[in-house]
Structure 1
Amino acid sequence: MSTAFAAATDDALLAAPRTELAARIARLTPADGMHETALAPLQLLRASSTTQCAPAVYDPAICVVAQGRKHVLLDGERYVYDALHYLVVSVTLPVVGQVIDASPEKPYLCLRLSVNPQDIGALMLETDSRTGPGTGIDRGLYSARSTAPLLDAVLRLMRLLDTPQDAPVLAPLAIREIYYRVLIGELGHRLRELATADSRAERIHRAIRVLRTRYSEALRVDELADAACMSASALHHHFKAVTAMSPLQYQKQLRLHEARRLMLSLGLEANAAAHRVGYESASQFSREYKRLFGAPPRQEIDRLRGGELAA
């Protein structure tokens, strides 16, 4: 069987599940934006038009698109996920995202399932590994081709939103199966590496946890290296392999994103937000904010509040 014929056959098998998944997401997302569900790890996203490139922080998750298309840029690398591909984020990453295929008639529809490395590790202990280990250390983000078994598990999870009395018992089973399908998929070794105790990816995850909890502090690379049980040079090399940036660049982006959240959600002025996240110089904060978000703080926040950068 030729590769092209096999791909066409797979696409045909996915057509019906995609159609049902899109209908269910559309029904539960009456407006654009991110929508929480009764199942805590599950969120739904709708966008009725294409969007501008927008910086964001992605937490570990599996993202499955039912309709439309989006891409994510990480250090110039482009990851596309659409109705034929899912996205996996295995570590917290500052990225740039853009919806590139959406319209009012056919909006971009996506579900996001949070991933906990501890849950992945527990599942690994109960199952046999079906794919070999990866070579070296990989990016903490990748896209892979969707499969019929994966979409079937996703649909069973979505259907539970209609029968909340069944969710406490059946939702954990559906979520575990989704994790399992990703783990045995073509790039599952990347997720497995993160959940393997003392692997290089897991050590980088430790350093990321330190940066996330202490982003406003003046941290030295040596401190992060100690947390990861690596030398400073090894940490720098492997951290960049996973996140596409150095630890200090990563910390800077976390600070800027948190300052943005403080201004947008709590109404803080730029100087107060800058101080809260660890900046001593307001002018340096403004310069770096504009470099990342494309406009000075006040102007960019006003634009967000006006809805110009809808999700």
Structure 2
Amino acid sequence: MLKGVTRLISRVHKLDPGHVLYMGTQAPQSLAAHLDNQVPVKSPRAISRTSEDDPAKHREQHEGQHYNISLQELKTVFPHGLPPRFAMQVKTFNEACLMVRKPALELLHYLKNTNFAHPAVRYVLYGEKGTGKTLSLCHILHFCAKQNWLILHIPDAHIWVKNCRDLLQSNYNKQRFDQPLEASTWLKNFKTANEHFLSQIKVQEKYVWNKRESTEKGRPLGEVVEQGIMRVRNATDAVGIVLKELKRQSSLGIFHLLVAVDGVNALWGRTTLKREDKSPVRKLSFLFWFL
């Protein structure tokens, strides 16, 4: 370990003094004088931050730098989906900063040049664990939110197929199983991120919940969302209706739709969920709606 440290120190001394930046608030006078004599005065260089906080304006020169998201905007755009450790850092430092990464810049370029007359295009962010895939996805979500896209965000697909607090046989299809608690939670977060759309989008057919409750054709989509939140047993069916209506109406060009899934491979994997008799669950309503 000591040998490695010594080698690192020797390498630091070989660097051009103009690229070794003191991170304190005030440089030692002897060092400042030395730099004045050795290095021409240059304009200040940004080390790790950029003042450009609009993702639509991020370019290659911003790669590797961090930009700030206001905490109020963070609550609206990311009611769920932030990595736990990142959320802890936000709470600790009382600010949220995302790094501008090259894959995100490339994807932003594609999204800005999307031809919405063509079929939907699918993009995949892939790489080893810990390389910033989730936060790059958050960068894209922030861009789409500021461009007034409607966002369908699944922050962790593994939760739906690996961990589940409750399973109920579907009312709509007895061969499938619902996950009402997960569905209700997802609807609450969907409402937070897209509330301004829910009164504008109207359902295109009538939906009957039970003998006394129904959502009539032409009513706001927000009523379907509220039904799933207030009547948890209907939450999974409400998610299905929301997805059905959005898929149908997004093709009309009324709004731009982004479907973002973190851990998308889980949707095609085996589940670890079991029935009361310990037999494995083969069909989940959630997977049927999203695939």
Range into which the TM-score falls when normalised by the shorter chain: under 0.3
How does the TM-score come out when normalised to structure 2? 0.21
Structure number having the greater strand percentage: 1
